[in-house]
Amino acid sequence: MLSLLFLTMLSMTANALPPQVRVDSEADSVSPDLAPSNAPENATAGCTQPSIWLFDDTHHANITMGDRSFLVHIPANYDPLTPHALVVSFHGFRTNARKQEEISGFSEKGLTLNGKGIVAVYPDGQYGPGKNGKKHIRAWQGAPYSAPGVDDIAFTQQMVQQLSDNLCLDSNRFYASGKSNGGGFTNLLACTPATASLFAAFAPVSAALYAGANPTDCNPGRPVPIINFHGLADKIVPFGGQDADHRGRTEYATPNISEYREAWANRNGCASITAQQAAAADHKLGYNAVISHPHTHTTLKESPCSANDSQAVVNGFTVKELGHSWPSTLGLDGGVTTFNATTANILPFFDAHTLG
């Protein structure tokens, strides 16, 4: 049990912080106050100064930034002198940070990137009007049901800055992922130059790619590594796309997922296939792709861009019997697959891509 005196001091410390960096009062263990003297070039400011954030015995901290919040998980072996990779994962419509942590599994024990534990972050979206316009439901920018006027791109940039200032991170290894509405927002981050240059790779899963999240003028300013998962049995965001939702609302139109992937491959500069290649592979392919079946009922189409430009890779996983779910053997998001997308594919993909 914490003493009354310590609780009082902890409360005074939290209240003394500037409004944009507030610490959850439930956290009760302090990050080590160590500062290296010669951090590597890719190390963030958090490697050179003690963190003001407090983490509980599960290695979590709830951080508030103005009227927004995000959940942070550091690995059990977090070293404040060593730059760690950062994975930010955005929840879907109607859910929250805790649920996204559960279904994505980025906080699971023993996971690494570049041989080190992962700092995993799960932000909470703002409350929007919902699909009927009369509810109060968390959502991300780019969806018809998101909060009007909210700039989630600016929020993401500010959040990453706070993370960089308070934790020892590898600035070449920031990654973004998300499910459904959060997957659509992940795509918007990839399309936006300011954030396409901030994150090394992107993983939209069962992405809700409304026009606001998948702009026709998507121009990231660099080749962007994309790994995408979508189920053929998805009835929320159909794999084949839709011109409107079941109520006829055209603002809920979403693209054919194969065409969405092809657009990224073309945007990244992947060469179109020749007639001979098409005959030898798949006549329906609109871009040069290597087809494989890495998991049961799962097809992977990987764009083989220039061997000297691995940053242009687009990996599209199509899962035959999967609905609107994050692929997992545990079924924590509804659907059950024979593989865990996070450990089997997303983390290895992230590990292969860095900035700089």
pLDDT in tens, 197-240: 999 999 999 999 999 999 999 999 999 999 999 999 999 999 99
Kindly list the domain boundaries of the chain, sorted by start residue.
20-351
Q: For domain 20-351, give the CATH number.
A: 3.40.50.1820
pLDDT at 304: 66
pLDDT at 309: 53
pLDDT in tens, 281-312: 544 445 567 899 999 999 999 986 654 455 67
User: Which residues touch 154 (CB under 8 Å, ≥6 apart)?
Assistant: none
- Residue 101 pLDDT more than 50? yes
pLDDT at 30: 39
pLDDT at 190: 98
Report residue 352 CA to chain centroid gap.
16
pLDDT in tens, 169-182: 999 999 999 999 99
Q: From CA 43, how far away is CA 154, in angstroms rounded? A: 22
How confident is the model over 266-288, as a mean pLDDT? 60
How confident is the model over 35-43, as a mean pLDDT? 70
User: Which residues touch 99 (CB under 8 Å, ≥6 apart)?
Assistant: 91
Reported as a pLDDT band with limits 50, 70 and 90, residue 4 is very low
Predicted TM-score (pTM) above 0.85? yes
pLDDT, mean over the chain: 87
